[in-house]
Amino acid sequence: MVSIVPNNIQIEDDRTGINVETLKRAFLDNLFYIQAKFPKISTKNDYYMALAYTVRDRLLNRWLQTTQTYLEKAPRTVAYLSAEFLMGPHLGNNLMNLGLYNVVKQAMEEFGLGLTDLLEQEEEPGLGNGGLGRLAACYIDSLATLEIPAIGYGIRYEYGIFDQEIKNGWQVEITDKWLRYGNPWEVPRPEAELEVKFGGHTENYTDEHGRYHVQWIPFKVVKGVPYDTPILGFQTNNANTLRLWKAEAPESFDFEAFNKGDYFGSVQEKSECENITKVLYPNDDSYQGKQLRLEQQFFFVSCSLQDMIRMMKAQNLTLERFHEHFAIQLNDTHPTIAVAELMRLLLDEHQFDWDKAWNITTKTFAYTNHTLLPEALERWSINMFGSSFPRHLQIIYEINLRFLDEVRIKFPDDGNRLRRMSIIDESGERYIRMAHLACVGSFAINGVAELHSELLKKTTLHDFYEMYPEKFTNVTNGVTPRRFMVLSNPRLANLITKKIGDSWVTNLDELRKLETFLYDSDFCKEFHQVKQDVKQDLANYIRTNYNITIDPNSLFDIQAKRIHEYKRQHLNALYIITLYNRIKANPNLDVTPRTFLFGGKAAPGYYMAKLIIKLINSIADVVNHDPDMRDRLKVIFLKDYNVKFAQRVYPAADLSEQISTAGKEASGTGNMKFSMNGALTIGTLDGANIEIREVVGEENFFLFGLTAEEVLQKKAAGYNPWDYYNSNPELKLAIDRISSGFFSHGDPNLFKPLLDSLLYRDQYLLLADYQSYIECQDRVSQAYRDREQWIRMSILNVARIGKFSSDRSIRDYVQNIWKVSALKVEVPEYSQSTN
C-alpha cells in the first residue's frame, strides 16, 4: 500500500519519531508553536497540551490510513448511535495503545516532568451520565481493537456531566467547562457540516408521474458540525472515529428572512440553535419529557444518518443497499427517532416507496434496552413531538397503522393487546412510546445481562416477544481491560504479565492461567503486596485531598456508582450504623477494621438521592469523630466520582458493593471492573452479578438478599416494611438513630422523607433484605481475617473474569447481530525504534 504521509516527512521526523530524543524535541516544538510558550513561563497545562499534541501527531498516520482503507474497501460498518460517550481521559489510553507509555515517561522525566502529573492535568470529556455512556466508550475501544469498521456517533455537549462538590454534606453542582483550555484530541470538520430541520409543517404534492409526495417545510434549520476524535485499537493499526455533532446557527438567506431588520432577534435565534448541544441532561434511569432533549436526540440522529448516506454516495454505493453497508445500533431508545428519520430520508428525499424504505429500515437497526424501570421508559407527548417533527409524526402514525394490522393478523380479536402494543399510548394524553418504535423498527432487540434479557421477555417487552420472538437476544455487557486494568492498575498488570505473558490484554480468558499459581506463596505475596500498594496510593490521595487518614490494612469497602434508591446506598449506610451501634454498646468488641468509601453523583432534581448523600456525609461526620471508632471504622464520601477517579478507585477495593434490589439493575459494569482488580463482591442476584458469581465461583462471592422472583412475590403478597422494623431490634435501632436526629445535630426532620419512604413504602425492599445483608457483611468481616484465603478468593476473581471483557461482548454483537467482518489496516512502517 502506498503511504499517504507526505513524502517530505522523514523517518524520525519530529512528528513521527518515537525515540526519547525525538520525543523531547517534538514536545518543545509543540510547546513553542502550539502553546506559544517556553519552559520558564509554561503552566502544567501547557506541558500537558504540548505532550498531547506530540502524541496526537503520532497517531494520525494510523487514523488516516484507517480512513483511507475504509474508503477504498467500503466494508460493512457498524454505526453505534449513542447520546452519551463517557470516554474518560485520552492521553494515557493513547500512549498505551501506541506502545509509547514508557518512552514518553522517560522523555518527560528528562525534563523533570512527571508523566502521572501530566496525565492528571487532562480534563475528562464527561459526555455521559454513568453505565450507559461508559459502555459506549468501552465498546468503541473494543471495536477498534478487534479491527471492526465502526463509527461512534453522538453529541458534542459543550458542558458534560456536572462536577460535584460537597458543601455541608450536600451535593452542589458545578458547570463542567471541559472545553475551557481546548481539546487537543478532536478535529473539527466544518467542511462536512450538514443541515437539520425543525418545526414547521408538511405539504403534499404530486410529481410529473402522478406520484404523491410529502414535503417538510421547517420552521428553522440548524447546522451540524462534526468533531472527530480518533479511537485507537490496542496493538493494531486500526483507529476508528468517534464523530460528535455540534449545533450551530446557519447564516443562510432563509434564516435572515425570519429576522428581517431584527438584529437582536437574529442573534437570539443563533444562540437558540446553539443551545441544542449546550448541555448533557444529567438524569440516569429517569426520563424527563423536555423538548430540548428530544431536539438533541433528533439533531444527532439526523446528522448521523445524512452522514452515512453521504458516505455511501461518495463511494458510489446505491442506497438500496443501505442496510448491507451499515448496521446501526441504538444505544437505548435515545436515538430511536432514527427509525422515522431514515424512513423520511428514503421516502421524501430519495423517493423510495414505503415498502422498500421499510424493508431497508427494519434491516438496519438493532436496539439495546438498558432498563426495566418504568419511570425510565421514554415517551413523548404527541403535541410536543408533532410541533418539532410534524413529518416524523405522520410517518410514525403510518408505521403504527401497518404494525397494528400485523398484530391483528397474528392475534385476532385481542383489543387489549393492540392497546398495549400500540406505538401510540392513547390511555390519556397521547404519547409516543419510543421502546415500542424501537422494537418495531429493529431486527434485533437485546438486554444487557442474562437476567435482564429474560425479564424483558417476561415483563416490559413481553408482547413484543410474543410477536417477534426471533428478534430477542442477550448480550451481556463487558468492559475494556485496557483502561480498567492495564492503564488503571499497572502494578497488577505487570505482575500478571510477568506470570503468564501479555496476551491476556486482548484475550482476557488467558487470565485463567493465574489459577496455576493459587498455592504459589510467592505469587500470593506479590499479589497481596500489589493490593496493599494500590490501597496506600488511595490512602495518600485521601489524606492530601480530604485531610483524613485511613489505614491501608483495613478492609476497603467501596460503593461507587450513580446514587439511586434502587442501588440502595442507604442499605450500606444502615449497616454502617449497625456496626457503629454495636461498637458503642460494646467498646471492646473485636471488629474487622473497615473503611467505607462511597462515590457517585445524584441527578440534580432527584431529591431522595441527594438526601442519601447528605445521610452518608452525616454518618461520616459522627463516625469519623468518635474516638470509640478510631482504627475500626471510617466513612468517606469521595466527591466528583468520574472516569478519571474511578481508575484510582477500582484497583484499591477489597470489597465491591453491588447491592441493588434484585430485578432492578439491568447489568451493572462497575461490578466487573472491581472484580477484574481483585475485589470480592457482596451482591444480590441482580444483573450481571449473577453471571459474575457463576464464573468466579459461589464460594468466592458474598451473596445475600431476595431473588427477583421473591421480590415480586413479596410485593404481590402485600409487603409491609413495619413488620421488619418491629421484629428486628438491630434494624429498629439503626433507623431510630437516624430519626432521633443523632446524625443531624438533633434535627429529627432532616432525614424524615427518606425514613418515611422506607417505613411506609420501601419500594426497593431495603428492610426485607437488611438481615440477610448484615449477616453477609459479618461473613465478609470474618473472611477478611483469613488473609491467605482472602487472597486466593481475590486471585480467583481476577483469573475467572475473562468473560466480562468488552471484547467478548463486541464479538457477540458481531456474530449474532451485526454480521460484520474485521478489516485489518496496513500502515507503511517508519522505523519504530524507541531507543
| Enzyme catalytic residues | 370, 561-562, 567, 669, 673
Query: Which CB sits closer to ligand HBZ, 432 or 619?
Result: 432
Q: Which residue is nearest to ligand HBZ (CB)?
A: 131
Q: How far is the CB of 150 from ligand HBZ (least distance, A)?
A: 18
Which residues between 39 and 58 bind ligand HBZ (CB under 6 A)?
none
Q: Roughly how many angstroms between the first and final C-alpha of the chain, as a whole number? A: 27
Assess contact for 458 and 431: CB atoms under 8 A.
no
Angle at 271 between CA 267 and CA 272, to 5 degrees: 115
Among 17, 687, 705, 721, binds ligand HBZ (CB under 6 A): 687
C-beta of 283: minimal distance to ligand HBZ in Å? 6
**Given the DSSP bridges, would you call strands 431-433 and 85-86 parallel, antiparallel or unpaired?**
unpaired
Name the minimum Å distance from CB 332 to ligand HBZ. 6
> Which residue's C-alpha cell is 406520484?
211
Does 810 contact ligand HBZ by CB under 6 A? no
Nearer to ligand HBZ, 283 or 772 (CB): 283
Nearer to ligand HBZ, 66 or 368 (CB): 368
Separation of alpha carbons 49 and 169, rounded Å: 35
What is the Rg, in whole angstroms, of the alpha carbon atoms belonging to the chain?
28
The number of beta carbons lying within 10 Å of the beta carbon of residue 531 is 25
Q: Which is nearer to ligand HBZ, 17 or 160 (CB)?
A: 160
Chain residues 474-513 in contact with ligand HBZ, contact rule CB under 6 A:
477
**Cell numbers found for residue 311:** 458516505
Cα 126 to the chain's mean position, in Å?
A: 10
CB-based burial of residue 581 (10 Å sphere; 0-12 exposed, 13-18 middle, 19+ buried)? middle
CB of 476 to ligand HBZ, least distance (A): 10
Residue 78 or 225 with smaller CB distance to ligand HBZ: 78
Stretch touching ligand HBZ by CB under 6 A, among 69-77, 279-287, 631-639, 674-682: 279-287
Residue whose C-alpha cell reads 432532616 in the numeric block = 750
Query: In which element (H, E) is residue 711 found?
Result: helix 708-716
Element (H, E) at 472: strand 472-474
> In whole angstroms, what is the distance from residue 364 CA to residue 602 CA?
36
Residue 802 touching ligand HBZ (CB under 6 A): no
Q: Which residues does 92 contact at the CB level (< 8 Å), separation at least 6?
A: 101, 119, 487
| 202 strand-pairing partners | 216
Least CB distance to ligand HBZ at residue 666 (A): 4
Does 376 contact ligand HBZ by CB under 6 A? yes
Smallest separation, CB 190 to ligand HBZ (Å): 29
Instruction: Confirm or reject binding of residue 683 to ligand HBZ (CB under 6 A).
Output: no
What is the rounded distance in angstroms from the CA atom of residue 43 to the CA atom of residue 34?
Answer: 14
HSE-CB of 264 using CA atoms within 13 angstroms: 0
Single out the segment in contact with ligand HBZ by CB under 6 A; choices: 8-16, 131-139, 385-393, 505-513.
131-139
The verdict on 283 binding ligand HBZ (CB under 6 A) reads yes
Q: Residues 478, 651, 668, 705: which binds ligand HBZ (CB under 6 A)?
A: 668
CB of 688 to ligand HBZ, least distance (A): 7
Q: Considering the complex, state which of residue 595 and residue 681 has its C-beta at the smaller distance from ligand HBZ.
A: 681
Element spanning 638, H or E: strand 633-638
State which of residues 18, 103, 135, 801 lies at the interface with ligand HBZ (CB under 6 A). Answer: 135
For the bound state, the minimum distance from the C-beta of residue 284 to ligand HBZ, rounded and expressed in Å, comes to 3
x/- contact string, 430-459, with ligand HBZ (CB under 6 A)? ------------------x-----------
Residue with smaller CB distance to ligand HBZ, 285 or 762: 285
Q: Identify which range of 29-37, 128-136, 532-540, 752-760 contacts ligand HBZ by CB under 6 A.
A: 128-136
Give the range of 124-132, 352-360, 491-499, 763-771 binding ligand HBZ by CB under 6 A.
Answer: 124-132
**Residue 197: beta bridge partners?**
221
Alpha-carbon distance 555 to 784, whole Å?
7
Shorter beta-carbon distance to ligand HBZ: residue 284 or 654? 284
Nearer to ligand HBZ, 376 or 712 (CB): 376
Handedness of CA 286, 288, 289, 293 (dihedral sign): negative
129 lies in the site for ligand HBZ, by CB under 6 A: yes
Q: Which is nearer to ligand HBZ, 131 or 721 (CB)?
A: 131
Beta bridge partners of 171: 166
For residue 287, state whether it binds ligand HBZ (rule: CB under 6 A): yes
Q: Is 220 helix (H, G, I), strand (E, B) or coil?
A: strand
Asked if 647 contacts 88 with a C-beta cutoff of 8 angstroms, the reply is yes
Distance CA 228, CA 242 (A): 6
For ligand HBZ (CB under 6 A), the number of binding residues is 20
Nearer to ligand HBZ, 82 or 361 (CB): 82
Closest CA to 217 of 393, 336, 389, 399: 389
Query: Is residue 344 a contact partner of residue 212, using CB atoms and an 8 Å limit?
Result: no
Among 105, 223, 370, 673, binds ligand HBZ (CB under 6 A): 370
Strand partners, 247: 224
Cα-based angle 529, 531, 536 (whole degrees, multiple of 5): 95
Segment near ligand HBZ (CB under 6 A); pick from 35-43, 90-98, 100-108, 281-289: 281-289
Taking residues 648 to 667 in sequence order and writing x for each that binds ligand HBZ by CB under 6 A, - otherwise, the string is -----------------xxx
Minimum distance between the CB of residue 155 and ligand HBZ, rounded to whole angstroms?
Answer: 12
What is the enclosing helix (H) or strand (E) of 806?
helix 806-813
CB of 477 to ligand HBZ, least distance (A): 5
E strands in 2-84: 77-81
CA–CA dist 349, 275 (Å, integer): 27
**733 contributes a contact to ligand HBZ by CB under 6 A:** no
The residue type found at 22 is: T
Q: How many angstroms separate the CA atoms of 804 and 670, rounded?
A: 11
* Residue 669 touches ligand HBZ, criterion: CB under 6 A: yes
Q: At what angle do helices 91-98 and 101-110 cross, to 10 degrees?
A: 120
- Pick the closer one to ligand HBZ by CB: 463 or 686: 686
Q: How far is the CB of 646 from ligand HBZ (least distance, A)?
A: 14
CA angle 341, 299, 306 (to 5 degrees): 55
Considering only residues 237 through 276, tell me which ones interact with ligand HBZ, judged by CB under 6 A: none
Question: Which residue in 285, 307, 557, 807 binds ligand HBZ (CB under 6 A)?
Answer: 285
Please give the sequence-ordered ranges of beta strands (E in DSSP) within 61-200, or none if there are none.
77-81, 85-86, 126-127, 150-155, 163-167, 170-174, 187-188, 194-198
Collapsing DSSP to helix, strand or coil, 757 comes out as helix
Question: Closest separation between CB of residue 330 and ligand HBZ, Å?
Answer: 13
Closest separation in Å from C-beta 667 to ligand HBZ = 4
Closer to ligand HBZ by CB, 312 or 376: give it. 376
User: Residue 215 and residue 197: Cα distance in Å, rounded?
Assistant: 12
Question: What grid cell was written down for 766?
Answer: 431495603
With CB under 6 A as the contact rule, the residue among 17, 126, 130, 169 that binds ligand HBZ is 130
- Which residue ranges make up the site for ligand HBZ (CB under 6 A)? 129-132, 135, 283-285, 287, 370-371, 376, 448, 477, 665-669, 687
